[in-house]
Structure 1
Amino acid sequence: MKIAVDAMGGDDAPDVVVAGVERARDEDTRLEFLLFGDEQRVRPLIKNDERITLVPTTEEISGNEAPVQAIRRKKDASMVRAARAVKDGEADALLSLGSTGALLAAGLFIVGRIKGIDRPGLMPTLPAATNDHGFVMLDVGANADNRPVHLYQYAVMGNFYAKDVRGIDNPRVGLLNNGTEEHKGDELHQEAHKLLANAAGLNFIGNVEATGLLDGVADVVVTDGFTGNAALKAVEGTAHTLLHALKDTIMNSGVKGKLGGLLLRNEIRGVADKFDASRYGGAVLLGLQAPVVKAHGAADARTVYYTIKQVADMVDKQTIAKFVQYFEEHTMAAPDAE
């Protein structure tokens, strides 16, 4: 399988991108990479070019640029060239740490949207205290405004992904809201609840609150892009702060505290590993004709490595091909709300 990688996207690119790519390449002989980026900056970082083809590019897209204009104007940008490689069948998937808006625009206008999907959704996998597979949540920022039918489509896509990639037989689908009662929320969430409650093939468990997300209250959490982005950042920030606070408490509590930390070293490491979001890879732009995955802009080489494993898993299982076939055979119009 061949993965197109935007080497120039992200805060610490291209260093962390190349390091993550080489680690994944060394561990999986099936993987080949098309690495798009500034040759003078990327070439010296490649220790071994086995199964890595560097494609020189002359432009980059920053997070401050208008996404659609940047994609259309900068034809030789690393992200645009990588997306074009996927569109032209030269690569099976696209990975970038760059601008979310620009990647969404590249996905829509170059890779292409699956017929029947109104708006692709951005979906990360997040950790849960009660299981090892975590939960997926969408949309977390691809669309600031949504209609009820979009949330219904997110539920169907998330449910499909949870089964095919995460290996969950009957995923619990929950609608993120400000209360568990079915009448809670604004008009969007009330109408979306009605659609999901009447949808066939979904194990819809009703509304879920943000307080239960990390407890694994649902396997698929459906939300509008604005709320989802706020919830995602709150979850990531809370997990990061608590882990650092735990470490600081142990290190600053004297000999007894350090001794206790040493005795509980394996247990503490287990908690840290469970809430290490980098192990779950990046956020998938679901609804496109090929796997397009966005890793965090501040990602390190380890996160890039895990994201590549996630992408490879999607390619190996032909998840998007199954998506396309499913949505071509089934209408994505929402069920009647009663």
Structure 2
Amino acid sequence: MTLPVAVDAMGGDDAPGVVVEGALEAVREGLDVVLVGRRDAIVAAGGESLDIIEASEVIEMSEEPSRAVRTKRDSSISLAVNAVRDGAASAIVSAGNTGAVAAAALLRLRRLPGVARPAIATAFPVPGGRTARVLLDSGAMADCNAQWLHQFARLGSAYSRIRFGVAAPCVGLLSIGEEPEKGNLLVKETHKLLAADDEIDFFGNIEGRDVLDGPVDVVVTDGFTGNVLLKSLEGTASFFVRLILERLSEGGPAGAEALRLLAPLADELSPDNVGGAMLLGVRGVCVIAHGSSSSTAVTNAIRVAHHMVEADLLGELAAVSLPSGDQLSPEPERPAGTTA
């Protein structure tokens, strides 16, 4: 019997309402869920029929992640992670403070054997029935070295195979030019490592314009650059969608018809349908949803968590042969604490 997914009921801009709504839909589909948070707030939002792990504290979006995780031991994020650690849940879903989720998972679940640093893998929806593209790191580790990025390429390739069924994922390294000599010192050193790795399909450097419509399945970069890229894409997409809607709404019947035709594309590109980002490299399935997640996004995140448990994501990642020299670091288990 599959253990339930522990869902942080207090995480997100519209929690606990949309979280409860999304969890209820998941339960109606036959998925096992346990909500973690303040019982009175969950019940008030309509979640009285759901299993609840009561938490008295909430880590706010504005709090410093590592400090909050260590001081708020009874927070919904901490107790959701503890549920997985203690064998009471199979996975974690949270739309709360990204850095706090990563810090709690790293502190309490620890890393998979051989993993130097975890990474957040974000999937981009791609129109036309094409396989979603994976970007990592998108916010877990702001400062990286070439060996960590090399591991990210291995982990991202495995994740693309397991989640999206890509037989031989093509990996691109984000840079300021396609030529191997382009980029900063980190990119140049990483390029050498990836080019010499026969176990991944390395395309080479790609530029920012290639992320959404380029030839690769997996995009590798450090957490600072990845997070800036991710939010830039989100902001650009939001701006142009709003602009198009405004113009078409002024176009009378022709505009209304155009809106009708564009509606399926908008649904196809909606990040709500992706199901959240995945924290790769820790000893637990951990899905990090966007802070502005809708109930649909929460339901999809729970679906993804169940799917990854059933597909034995952790077992598959643990079986990935990591590059030589990328051993566990003696440094403290401390994520960068950036937010996505």
TM-score, normalisation: structure 1? 0.92
Displacement, 1:177?
A: 0.6
Tell me if structure 1 keeps the 8 A contact 2:173–2:221: yes
The one-letter code matched in structure 2 to 1:24 is A
Tell me if structure 2 keeps the 8 A contact 1:128–1:216: no
**Partners of 1:3 and 1:288 in 2: CA distance:** 16
Tell me if structure 2 keeps the 8 A contact 1:24–1:309: yes
The one-letter code matched in structure 2 to 1:37 is G
- Name the stretch that deviates more: 124-133 or 139-148: 124-133
Of 185, 204, 210, the residue aligned with 1:212 is 210
Show CA shifts across 1:52-96 (max 9, x none).
311111111112222222212212111111100100111110011
Q: 1:233 to 1:62 in 2, by over 3 A?
A: same
The one-letter code matched in structure 2 to 1:193 is H
The runs of at least 4 consecutive aligned structure 1 residues that moved more than 6 Å come to none
Tell me if structure 1 keeps the 8 A contact 2:42–2:48: no
**Partners of 2:72 and 2:59 in 1: CA distance:** 8
Give 1:272's aligned residue.
266
Q: Map 1:240-319 onto structure 2 (within 5 A).
A: 240-253=238-251, 255=252, 259-319=253-313
1:332 matched to 2:332? The reply is no
Show CA shifts across 1:75-131 (max 9, x none).
211111110010011111001111111111111011221111111001110123464
**Partners of 2:195 and 2:116 in 1: CA distance:** 20
Gaps of 5+ in 1: none
Give 1:89's aligned residue.
87
Give 1:161's aligned residue.
159
SS in structure 2 of the partner of residue 181 of structure 1: coil
Displacement, 1:240?
A: 1.6
SS in structure 2 of the partner of residue 165 of structure 1: helix
Displacement, 1:22?
A: 0.6
**Partners of 1:45 and 1:331 in 2: CA distance:** 45
Of 1, 14, 17, the residue aligned with 1:15 is 17
The one-letter code matched in structure 2 to 1:18 is V
**Partners of 1:55 and 1:279 in 2: CA distance:** 27
**Partners of 1:245 and 1:300 in 2: CA distance:** 22
SS in structure 1 of the partner of residue 135 of structure 2: strand
- Name the stretch that deviates more: 131-140 or 227-236: 131-140
Q: Map 1:102-181 onto structure 2 (within 5 A).
A: 102-129=100-127, 131-181=129-179
**Partners of 1:212 and 1:323 in 2: CA distance:** 27
CA RMSD of aligned residues (A): 1.6
Give 1:26's aligned residue.
28
**Partners of 1:127 and 1:232 in 2: CA distance:** 13
How many residues align? The count is 324
SS in structure 2 of the partner of residue 206 of structure 1: strand
TM-score, normalisation: structure 2? 0.91
Tell me if structure 2 keeps the 8 A contact 1:116–1:332: no
1:68 matched to 2:66? The reply is yes
Tell me if structure 2 keeps the 8 A contact 1:123–1:136: yes
SS in structure 2 of the partner of residue 144 of structure 1: coil
Tell me if structure 1 keeps the 8 A contact 2:248–2:259: no
**Partners of 2:82 and 2:217 in 1: CA distance:** 33
**Partners of 1:267 and 1:207 in 2: CA distance:** 36
Of 5, 8, 17, the residue aligned with 1:6 is 8
Tell me if structure 2 keeps the 8 A contact 1:3–1:32: yes
Tell me if structure 1 keeps the 8 A contact 2:138–2:230: yes
Tell me if structure 1 keeps the 8 A contact 2:249–2:256: no
Identity between Structure 1 and Structure 2 (%): 37
**Partners of 1:112 and 1:295 in 2: CA distance:** 21
SS in structure 2 of the partner of residue 11 of structure 1: coil
**Partners of 1:164 and 1:9 in 2: CA distance:** 27
Q: 1:244 to 1:175 in 2, by over 3 A?
A: same
Give 2:316's aligned residue.
322
